[in-house]
Structure formats: structure tokens, C-alpha cells
């Protein structure tokens, strides 16, 4: 995750944004621990394959999360 945030920062962006299924408690705990905050929700859908090989449209509600990268980058550069 740190590498992904560094790539985002290197492209001149000041924040990293992601979407997580509302029901994915483990991922939500991880991203909150990494400093991400929820700022909204959105419906999401994608094609998924069932165990028998058929493709279906999976739909869910996602939480939108973001983390400001300037604060962590600035504090990392400070001595101390």
C-alpha cells in the first residue's frame, strides 16, 4: 500500500481514494488503521464468475475512502 501511495504522490496527487464493499470488515479495519476516512458511498457492479463457470453481474454498495498524502509525506521528511 505504501508503494501505491508513493506512486500517487509522484504523479502530483495529494490524496489517495479507494472504494471498499460495505460488508468487507477486514478491509475497512485495515484502511482505517492506515489513516483512510469514509467520505461517501456508491453502488458498484462488476462481472463475476460462479463456481460452475457462468458469468453474472455482482452488485454491492461500496464505501468511498480517502487519505491525504501530504500530511504523512511531510511528517516523514521532518527530523525526529
* CATH number of the domain encompassing residue 19: 3.40.630.30
Per DSSP, the residues of the chain read -HHHHHHHHHTT-SEEEEEEETT-HHHHHHHHHTT-EEEEEEEEEEEEE-TTS-EEEEEEEEEEEEEEHHHHHHHHHS--
**Structural domain range at position 59:** 2-77
The number of distinct structural domains making up the chain is 1
56-68, pLDDT tens digit by residue?
999 999 999 999 9
What does residue 17 show for φ and ψ, rounded to 5 degrees? -125, 140
19-58, pLDDT tens digit by residue?
999 999 999 999 999 999 999 999 999 999 999 999 999 9
Amino acid at each position: 500500500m505504501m508503494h501505491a501511495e508513493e506512486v500517487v504522490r509522484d504523479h502530483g496527487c495529494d490524496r489517495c481514494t479507494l472504494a471498499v464493499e460495505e460488508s468487507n470488515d477486514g478491509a475497512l479495519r485495515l484502511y482505517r488503521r492506515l489513516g483512510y476516512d469514509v467520505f461517501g458511498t456508491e453502488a458498484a457492479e462488476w462481472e463475476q464468475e460462479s463456481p460452475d463457470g457462468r458469468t453474472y453481474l455482482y452488485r454491492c454498495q461500496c464505501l468511498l475512502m480517502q487519505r491525504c498524502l501530504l500530511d504523512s509525506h511531510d511528517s516523514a521528511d521532518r527530523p525526529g
